[in-house]
Structure formats: structure tokens, C-alpha cells
């Protein structure tokens, strides 16, 4: 036992010594391409595979007196700080903001590359502990300053996706879909949540579970990411993953809605059309310009390529066995956001955001960890016309990545407050930013805010209440 312990200790010390050196070597392998391949019809390059993939993270730095940059006619301000890894947000009917905080994932490291990638990524992330909670923010007088803050619910397992409907708050944690009864004005949940259905969580390489709800409140849609880059853990662990589920909000019965979406990190319903949209993080290790993360409408029964092909019917030669019949059915996404930008948020705009940004979607881009030079680290706007993306993407909030190459923030969820504000969750600065049009931004004025009520409900119970067996997939 002593000899075995000694060998393990030496191995651990060797790994600890090698990781930083190998990490620096891997960073040096990246190129400096000029294009980011953004838009509805990117002319993609050929795959590039070297001895090592590019691994490069932007180290964190403080904001100090700086703020993110927004377009002329808009202003930005922090409305909450010192959060515990804010991810997604939800504006409640009375104007309160609910914030999901936490970090999930429990996938084992399979190779030295996994260890090195984990080391590099950890250097670019916040070092605070996972909140595993929902925090409620309240602006009592409607002036845009959120004076009151309370823990709405805690002891949750990495909450991420949020939705509202049927007088209920729905929360997708990394392993379950939960329901809280909603009482207007309550500052915390009145009881433990009801579990609607279990969600795939055996490994959780991609742990985030995106969530939205149909306009009539009948169905919930859950985005479930893959458990690997391109099935290197085997196909068995990918069962019920890399897809979107449609879940009956009342019964929990679920069926597969669409497949082949490697990691659908945020979902949104298109106003007036009840059309589901998603932003998707695509695969890695075939070049700085492949594969583009994307924004797409999600069709019932649609297949979007993963793992057999990317951006429609571009075959990924690394995947075995090949399936030409699946590739032939792969749908080309609507809009490329750029490779490795790590899109984690999507929200449809309203006229209250000003004429230039009235029709389209805002996209939160968390930023690359495997591209040189880094990309993302911003909020972009994709304009729409006739219900579809039209025109070039516009940078809406930038400056998260400084000229010194260090990251001041990393945008995740984006949410449009119908009263006229874009909310941005920043999980590096642990801040919620609020961007509003000023007198210099043309367009419909924001509706006057209604102060929230101040009713207080009892503190939530510590753990979800089980609701019985999970219904079988349809």
C-alpha cells in the first residue's frame, strides 16, 4: 500500500508540474485567423487537426471604474453584484428579477488533454463557490435601482433554466425539472418545489439545462447537451442527450422534440409565432474557425447533425461509425454566431429597446477558451425580418474582454424586461448588468414601471419533494 501510495503521489506531482507547461505549449499552437464566419451562409474552411488543439483562456481582471461599452443612446449599470455565479434570469409579472446561480458538471477527466483543458478553463472562471440557489431582485419604486434582494430558494442542484407560466416558476437544475408555485410579491418560495420530471444527469459533461415555455403554458422545452465532444465516451452515455425535450407542464410526460443539437444552451419562444429558437455550442478540435456556434429555429422532429455532421451536411470524419442517412437529413442552422464564442443566452427584443434593436434577438457570448485570438466575450444582436434573421450581427455590449487581453466579465443569460431594459448575467464579475435606452435612442419609449409589492412568504424547504416515478419518453 505504501509503494502504491508513493506511485500515486509521484504521478500527481508530475501531473501538477506538467499541466502549466503543457498548457502554455498548447496555447502557442493557435493561429491568428482574421475571419469569424458569422451569418446565415458562412463559407467554412477545411478542418484542421494538429497534435494539440488550441487552448487559450483570457485571465480575469477587475472592472475598476470601467463599464461595458454599449451603443450611443444607451446606458449600462450594475444592479446586483457579489452573486454566486449568475447564469440565467427571469422577469416575473410584477417586475421582480429571478436569478439562477450555480455551477454544475461531474464528468470525469479521461485523458491528459481533459486535465489540461480543465486547468486552463478554471483559470478564466470565477473562483467563488456555486450558489445553488435562486436570488430575487426587487426595484420597489420603479427607478431602475434594485434595492431589495433575497434568496428565493436554495439547496438546488445547479439551477440554470427558468420559465414562468400557469402561475408557476419552472426551474431546470442539472438533474431535474422543478415547479414552484408563484405568489405575486413573495420574496421567497412558500414551499419545497414539485419535481415534474428527472433530467439526464449521469455524467453531465454539458450540465446546463436550458428552459422555455410555450405561449399557452402547456409545454416546457428543455435543452440537454451532449456528454462529450464527438462521442469519445461512447454512444451509450449519449442516450437522451444532444436534444430538446418537450415536456407536458402538468404531467411531466416528455417526448423528444429535436435531436442532433450538441449543446443547446439557451431557448426562447418567438413572440406571436410560438416558434422555438435555440443557441447551440458546437464541437471542438478541428480548428479555430470550426465549428460555428449558432442560432436556429428548432423544428419538431428535426435533426441538426451532431455528431455525424456539422453546419448541415458537412461530415465529421472523426465519428465512427459513419451514418450517411443521418447526414442526409441534417438541417442547416439559421445563423452562424462564430466558432467557439460559447453562446449561452438568447432573448427576443421588444420595441421598448429602441427602433434599431426592436426586432431580433440578443445573444450572450460567454467567450472562447480554445481559440487564438479569443472571441465572444460580448452581447450581440441578430436583427430579424419576416420572422427570420436578416442582416449582419451587431455588437451591442462589448468591453468584457479588455485591450490587455484580460476578461473583466463573461456574459451568460440575457433577458429583455418588457418595460425597456436588457438584463445581462455576468458569471465572471458575478454581476447583473442593466442596459436601457436613453433620450438619444429612437424608438418607442419604455412603459412606466410599476413598483413591486412586498408580501413575504415563508422560507423555502431545503430539498425538493419527489413526485413519483418518471414517465417514459414518448
pLDDT in tens, 439-457: 765 554 444 444 444 443 3
pLDDT recorded at residue 121: 77
Residue 111 counted as domain residue: yes
Instruction: Name the pLDDT band for 315 (thresholds 50, 70, 90).
Output: very high
Facing residues of 88 across strands?
A: 100
pLDDT recorded at residue 53: 73
pLDDT recorded at residue 120: 72
pLDDT recorded at residue 37: 86
Separation CA 139–CA 158 (nearest Å): 26
| pLDDT averaged over every residue in the chain | 87
Residue 467 counted as domain residue: no
pLDDT recorded at residue 113: 67
Residue 242 counted as domain residue: yes
Look at the chain and report how many structural domains it folds into.
Answer: 1
Separation CA 406–CA 418 (nearest Å): 33
pLDDT over 80 (residue 252): yes
Residue 138 counted as domain residue: yes
pLDDT recorded at residue 440: 64
Structure confidence by residue, pLDDT tens digits, 349-371? 999 999 999 999 999 999 999 89
Q: What is the CATH number of the domain that holds 67?
A: 2.120.10.30
- Given a contact cutoff of 8 angstroms between Cβ atoms, the answer to whether 101 and 429 are in contact is no
Full-model pTM: 0.87
Structure confidence by residue, pLDDT tens digits, 147-170? 999 999 999 999 999 999 999 999
pLDDT recorded at residue 281: 98
Q: Provide φ and ψ at 362, rounded to 5°.
A: -95, 140
Structure confidence by residue, pLDDT tens digits, 22-67? 443 344 344 444 446 899 999 999 999 876 778 888 999 999 999 9
153 is in which domain, residue-wise?
54-437
C-alpha closest to that of 377 among 393, 365, 363, 389:
365
205 versus 474: which is more confidently predicted? Answer: 205
Amino acid at each position: 500500500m505504501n509503494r502504491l501510495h508513493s506511485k500515486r503521489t509521484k504521478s500527481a506531482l508530475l501531473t501538477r508540474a506538467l499541466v502549466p507547461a503543457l498548457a502554455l505549449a498548447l496555447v502557442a499552437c493557435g493561429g491568428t485567423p482574421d475571419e469569424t464566419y458569422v451569418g446565415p451562409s458562412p463559407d467554412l474552411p477545411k478542418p484542421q487537426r494538429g497534435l494539440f488543439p488550441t487552448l487559450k483562456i483570457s485571465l480575469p481582471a477587475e472592472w475598476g471604474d470601467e463599464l461595458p461599452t454599449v451603443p450611443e443612446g444607451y446606458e449600462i449599470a450594475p444592479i446586483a453584484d457579489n452573486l454566486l455565479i449568475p447564469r440565467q434570469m427571469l422577469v416575473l409579472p410584477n417586475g421582480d428579477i429571478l436569478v439562477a446561480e450555480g455551477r454544475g458538471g461531474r464528468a470525469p477527466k479521461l485523458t491528459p488533454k481533459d486535465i489540461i483543458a480543465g486547468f486552463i478553463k478554471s483559470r478564466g472562471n470565477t473562483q467563488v463557490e456555486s450558489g445553488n440557489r435562486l436570488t430575487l431582485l426587487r426595484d420597489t419604486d420603479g427607478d431602475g435601482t434594485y434595492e431589495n434582494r433575497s434568496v428565493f430558494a436554495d439547496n438546488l442542484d445547479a439551477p440554470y433554466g427558468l420559465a414562468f407560466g400557469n402561475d408557476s416558476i419552472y426551474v431546470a437544475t442539472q438533474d431535474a425539472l422543478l415547479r414552484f408555485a408563484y405568489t405575486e410579491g413573495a420574496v421567497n418560495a412558500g414551499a419545497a418545489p414539485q419535481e415534474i420530471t428527472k433530467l439526464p444527469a449521469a455524467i453531465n459533461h454539458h450540465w446546463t439545462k436550458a428552459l422555455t415555455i410555450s405561449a399557452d403554458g402547456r409545454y416546457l422545452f428543455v435543452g440537454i447537451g451532449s456528454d462529450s465532444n464527438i462521442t469519445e465516451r461512447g454512444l451509450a452515455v449519449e442516450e437522451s442527450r444532444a436534444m430538446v425535450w418537450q415536456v407536458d407542464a402538468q404531467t411531466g410526460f416528455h417526448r423528444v422534440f429535436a435531436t442532433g443539437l450538441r449543446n443547446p444552451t439557451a431557448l426562447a419562444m418567438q413572440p406571436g409565432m410560438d416558434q422555438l429558437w435555440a443557441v447551440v455550442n458546437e464541437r471542438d478540435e478541428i480548428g479555430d474557425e470550426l465549428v460555428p456556434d449558432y442560432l436556429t429555429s428548432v423544428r419538431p422532429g428535426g435533426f441538426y447533425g451532431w455528431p455525424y455532421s456539422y453546419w448541415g451536411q458537412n461530415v465529421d470524419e472523426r465519428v465512427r461509425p459513419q451514418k450517411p442517412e443521418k447526414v442526409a437529413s441534417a438541417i442547416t442552422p439559421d445563423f452562424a454566431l462564430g466558432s467557439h464564442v460559447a453562446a449561452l443566452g438568447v432573448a427576443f427584443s421588444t420595441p421598448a429597446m429602441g427602433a434599431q434593436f426592436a426586432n431580433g434577438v440578443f445573444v450572450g457570448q460567454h467567450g472562447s477558451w480554445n481559440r487564438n485570438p479569443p472571441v465572444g466575450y460580448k452581447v450581440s444582436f441578430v436583427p430579424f425580418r419576416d420572422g427570420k434573421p436578416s442582416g449582419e450581427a451587431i455588437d451591442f455590449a462589448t468591453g468584457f474582454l479588455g485591450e490587455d487581453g484580460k476578461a473583466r466579465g463573461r456574459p451568460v443569460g440575457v433577458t429583455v424586461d418588457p418595460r425597456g431594459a436588457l438584463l445581462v448575467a455576468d458569471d465572471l464579475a458575478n454581476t447583473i448588468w442593466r442596459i436601457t435606452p436613453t433620450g438619444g435612442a429612437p424608438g418607442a419609449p419604455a412603459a412606466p414601471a410599476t413598483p413591486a409589492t412586498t408580501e413575504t412568504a415563508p422560507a423555502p424547504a431545503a430539498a425538493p419533494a419527489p413526485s413519483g416515478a418518471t414517465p417514459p419518453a414518448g
